[in-house]
Amino acid sequence: MIHIFGGTSDARLICQLLDRAGEGYSVSVASEAGRQLAEGILGQIVVGRMDSGEMAHYLQQHGIHWVIDASHPYANALSENVIAACHRQKIRLTRYQRPSDIERLSHPLLHKVNSVEEACRLAQTLGPKVLLTTGSKQLAEYQSALRGKKLLVRVLPTAEVLMQCEALGLGVDNIIALRGPFSASLNRALYETYQPDVVITKESGNQGGYLQKVEPCLALRIPCIVVRRPTPLAAERWDEQVSSLDAFAQLLSLWQNQRGKTR
């Protein structure tokens, strides 16, 4: 049995590959929004955050023999818990890490920073209207550091996320509730419509539409701040790492062949 820690578009692609391969699996997502994003897969969806002890218990109780960590590149805390749980239960652990596109673009209006705090300090100097395409997880942090700015936030259109926005005092004039993926032309139309003075985004890679977000922003001469990924965890802490669906498919084929030989 395979278990995936996900809630990302990468995790969904892995689930679809497992569906085609006829493999049984389960997938963990943190919230109801994650469950909705995972709808349509054949595996069991497990909703809720777990610490490392709870993860270890779940993996043992459900007879998991292989764990795939396909969590977001910014979710190092989650990955630490997954590593601890798998080491405790002596379960094979594979990290699916989407490649970065951050070095593919260089431009005077493209600012690459290392933290939310640094992004907000820079944004304070770049005009009154700030568009966040960073998701909902750190909205409170951005709002606190960008006091006095007009915030526009592009978030998932779920009740959970909208309630979070409402609790922060963000209303209909602040919220752009859409689910991606977003093409470059759609992003350009949004920038032209809302006319932000600066856009803040993340180093989300191809699967997260990084170039599709940044290129139209720069074409419109809008400053763009990109928050870099945290330093990745050491490679030796995983049994293996892959960065493409093809590479994962090869691992899965070997897994299936090995199981076939031992039946």
Which sequence spans correspond to the domains of the chain?
2-99+231-262, 102-227
pTM: 0.82
User: What is the distance between the alpha carbons of residues 4 and 224, in angstroms, rounded to a whole number?
Assistant: 33
- State the chain's mean pLDDT as an integer: 90
263 has pLDDT over 60: no
Task: Report the pLDDT averaged over residues 113-119.
Answer: 95
- Condensed to tens digits (0 to 9), the pLDDT of residues 213-252 reads 999 999 999 999 999 988 777 778 888 999 889 999 999 9
Judged by average pLDDT, the poorest of 27-31, 107-111, 155-159, 257-261 is 257-261
User: What is the distance between the alpha carbons of residues 169 and 144, in angstroms, rounded to a whole number?
Assistant: 12
Q: Do 2-99+231-262 and 102-227 show the same overall fold?
A: yes
Fold of 102-227: Rossmann fold (3.40.50)
Q: Which CATH architecture group holds 2-99+231-262?
A: 3-Layer(aba) Sandwich (3.40)
Task: Report the pLDDT averaged over residues 149-166.
Answer: 92
- Assess contact for 204 and 134: CB atoms under 8 A: no
User: What is the distance between the alpha carbons of residues 142 and 33, in angstroms, rounded to a whole number?
Assistant: 21
- Condensed to tens digits (0 to 9), the pLDDT of residues 59-115 reads 999 999 999 999 888 888 899 999 999 999 999 999 998 878 888 889 999 999 999
Confidence (pLDDT) at 185:
96
Task: Report the pLDDT averaged over residues 27-51.
Answer: 86
